[in-house]
Structure 1
């Protein structure tokens, strides 16, 4: 073989080292625009919750960021993935071990062919270093490192997803508490008014101007209103407990003085451009990272078809005389190489490769679904923001109309034009309108939270 042929052969061998296919992202073209665009093309910031103007919400978010149980668990999973990456990376480096020992032995006289009657004792001391290295000729170990690295990236994206989930959970639960607080206040006000009207009916019954049926009807109305109070109070106490867990505290340790629903601002959330959404959704980035890991796993599985080449070297000293231990006479060394090739494995390697390919196909579909779901989430959230705003506007008009009718009925009652039954009916209508308005305002706030979450909460890959 000529000297020029040696580099050419080396280049040929190196070109054959890669047995895996390069990763190609599945085709997932974004829509040209949002069907229900709102708020302009400005993406939200990472502190998106501050747009609601709630200092109490700021405090809750800070507590969740430092003490939420799911975030702590996700952080621990990141550490596990980083450690696994270090383990996988060790396969690319040689291993080195040291061994030192001393052996004291007595030879058997019965097994000896000599005529000596004295037992022979020997002491052997040794100190050696052993180095071994597997040549990653086919890229098996490098592919395992690539897979572990992608898994580590996926764990970080999962952490960001957990952060966004915890933040949206805190905001949604806190807003629900405020909504329930408002509804409970309305029920209590309505109960107070109904009790006053019942007292009027009872006085009129004693005076003979009202019947027992009038009293019974008002008692039924009052009982119905009181019955609606308990479920609302139960739900609010359960939301308090849920908020305590979200902020990493026991319900018994959690204290909260909520604000009023009316002090919160409803932000105009910008949706950005569809082409930038995928880089702002950590769940989509996690799905792609898992797909990259699966692609690397295929390469590692394919490499098992080819020979495994290892180098081993050992050097040290061994002597029967401790004083001569570190001399040239006691020096020992060895160098060895080996190649191992599977001849027949009953289809194990082929099955492993096929399993990795099928896993890649599964994760490809998972990624495509994550992408489609991301665009769908934003569209649904935009619809919710738009329609909840329309609902609030309609409910405000209904509440204003009902309030005006109630005030007119009260004035006419004072003038003797209508009876108390008319006032009662208008009061019931007003209460219903006020309760519907409180629920609509809560829905509008939660729709804004949903849109922030659908947009990735201001997070950006590589940011």
Structure 2
């Protein structure tokens, strides 16, 4: 009897060791990052930027180091703390963390405990019964499906990859939010500047109208000059309510990004639309693979797809399920835990797919095809990132040149207006010349503000294209 027990014990130990060894098997492929031949330098970078591409990129800097205007920094900080989009993205991370725990639980035995009791009070008319009829018991059960082929581990790997993807998605939201706040703030300040120019223009045209009225009343100028002066004035005054409308609507848009109700945005700083520093360091293109959240998110999806292949392969192999239970019971409280009342049983189930009509093979082919699709998507993400940086660099150089020419145009238009007014007051020119030059000046001043805004936006676009703003 003793030798039999030893034999059984040895067999159980050998079986446990065998299962532990088999549990180390993993039929899925190991993940390997797809190769991508990145260029040595970004298209659009000037010679100075290419020469300094080994330096740290502005994409590695925090947003507070890149955008140093205090009012803009305060808005970005508030947005990152209160934005609805950031809070939603953070909540999705928590949800995925819970999903990882749920999926990982499949790798471990499931243990349950329970008890039961039956009691009845029998009337004396049924005979001489000394105690009520009763029964009670307690049992402990366990179920386990050993992960021989890495099925559950691969399922957990999928969930972990999706968690990583959610983390990078949250960082992508931060990058986008910094870009949106910065761009919206620059647009708001451009509207402010255009409104300021319009009010200055209105004041100048009011003075011009008063002069024309005096000349008309004195007989030195025709009534048509006064009407032209009025048209010039009303053209400018009509723009004020439109600009005020755009300003308030832009404030509402920024408020939503901040997680607020629609309302005003405090601002007082001057020279917000200052020229962008030249020779901004951008680093090397290969750094985008590690810094851009959207590329990292695409790779996380690829890792999950790679693990799905392992899940599909594991379906071809046999699955063993082990169930065991132990319990005690009796017809009185004192006899429930008696050693004579214990019951122990175990059961194992081995299932091997034999014929599934091509289902398992189809699942494996599908998982491979989906993985190949995500490889292409990953490569497309990299190509798109390179395009974004290149476009931002090209825009930075070209908008700077455009803004410089627009400044020359404004200076020329201002002098033309000065000369036209002098000629008109001296009687050497009609008011049409003043009207034409004044209209050209006002238009060129508004266009200069737009050019300054576009140039300032290129730094925002370049920073986001390089993957900056989430650290």
TM (norm. structure 2) is: 0.87
Kept after mapping to 2: 8 A contact 1:144/1:300: yes
Distance in 1, Cα, partners of 2:408 & 2:84: 43
Distance in 2, Cα, partners of 1:191 & 1:452: 38
Quick check: 1:53 aligned with 2:68?
yes
Kept after mapping to 2: 8 A contact 1:52/1:267: no
How is 1:73-152 mapped onto 2 (pairs within 5 angstroms)?
A: 73-104=88-119, 122-152=133-163
Quick check: 1:330 aligned with 2:344?
no
User: Residue 145 of structure 2 aligns to a residue in which SS?
Assistant: strand
Partner of 1:37: 45
Q: Deviations for 1:242-276, whole angstroms, at most 9, x for unmatched residues? A: 10011110013x44224234574634432111121
Kept after mapping to 1: 8 A contact 2:186/2:456: yes
Kept after mapping to 2: 8 A contact 1:318/1:331: yes
Task: Give the number of aligned pairs.
Answer: 446
Partner of 1:164: 175
| Structure 1 residue 176 displacement after superposition | 0.4
- Change in Cα spacing, 1:124 to 1:132, as seen in structure 2 (3 Å) is same
Distance in 1, Cα, partners of 2:315 & 2:455: 57
User: Residue 187 of structure 1 aligns to a residue in which SS?
Assistant: helix
| Structure 1 residue 92 displacement after superposition | 1.2
Q: Deviations for 1:31-89, whole angstroms, at most 9, x for unmatched residues? A: 12112115442311442354343110011011011100000000000011111111111
Distance in 2, Cα, partners of 1:118 & 1:382: 101
Distance in 1, Cα, partners of 2:28 & 2:357: 23
Q: List alignment gaps of at least 5 residues for structure 1.
A: 1-5, 108-115
- Change in Cα spacing, 1:52 to 1:147, as seen in structure 2 (3 Å) is closer
Q: Does 204-213 or 28-37 show the bigger shift?
A: 204-213
Partner of 1:27: 35
User: Residue 136 of structure 2 aligns to a residue in which SS?
Assistant: strand
| Structure 1 residue 389 displacement after superposition | 0.9
User: Residue 205 of structure 1 aligns to a residue in which SS?
Assistant: helix
Distance in 2, Cα, partners of 1:217 & 1:408: 18
CA-based RMSD: 2.8
Kept after mapping to 2: 8 A contact 1:205/1:211: yes
Partner of 1:304: 315
| Structure 1 residue 424 displacement after superposition | 3.7
How is 1:179-190 mapped onto 2 (pairs within 5 angstroms)?
A: 179-190=190-201
How is 1:313-328 mapped onto 2 (pairs within 5 angstroms)?
A: 313-328=324-339
User: Residue 38 of structure 2 aligns to a residue in which SS?
Assistant: coil
Distance in 2, Cα, partners of 1:334 & 1:10: 22
- Change in Cα spacing, 1:94 to 1:263, as seen in structure 2 (3 Å) is same
Partner of 1:66: 81
- Which residue of 293, 299, 307 corresponds with 2:304? 293
Partner of 2:269: 259
- Change in Cα spacing, 1:73 to 1:331, as seen in structure 2 (3 Å) is same
User: Residue 256 of structure 1 aligns to a residue in which SS?
Assistant: coil
Q: Deviations for 1:329-356, whole angstroms, at most 9, x for unmatched residues? A: 1222122221122344444434433332
| Structure 1 residue 421 displacement after superposition | 4.4
Distance in 2, Cα, partners of 1:394 & 1:138: 69
Distance in 1, Cα, partners of 2:181 & 2:365: 44
Q: Deviations for 1:62-120, whole angstroms, at most 9, x for unmatched residues? A: 1011100000000000011111111111111111111111123699xxxxxxxx97899
Q: Deviations for 1:124-149, whole angstroms, at most 9, x for unmatched residues? A: 21111111211101111010011011
Distance in 2, Cα, partners of 1:458 & 1:249: 21
Distance in 2, Cα, partners of 1:265 & 1:62: 24
Kept after mapping to 2: 8 A contact 1:54/1:264: no
User: Residue 251 of structure 1 aligns to a residue in which SS?
Assistant: coil
Q: List alignment gaps of at least 5 residues for structure 2.
A: 1-13
TM (norm. structure 1) is: 0.88
How is 1:64-463 mapped onto 2 (pairs within 5 angstroms)?
A: 64-104=79-119, 122-252=133-263, 254-262=264-272, 264=274, 266-268=276-278, 269-411=280-422, 418=429, 420-457=431-468
| Structure 1 residue 396 displacement after superposition | 1.5
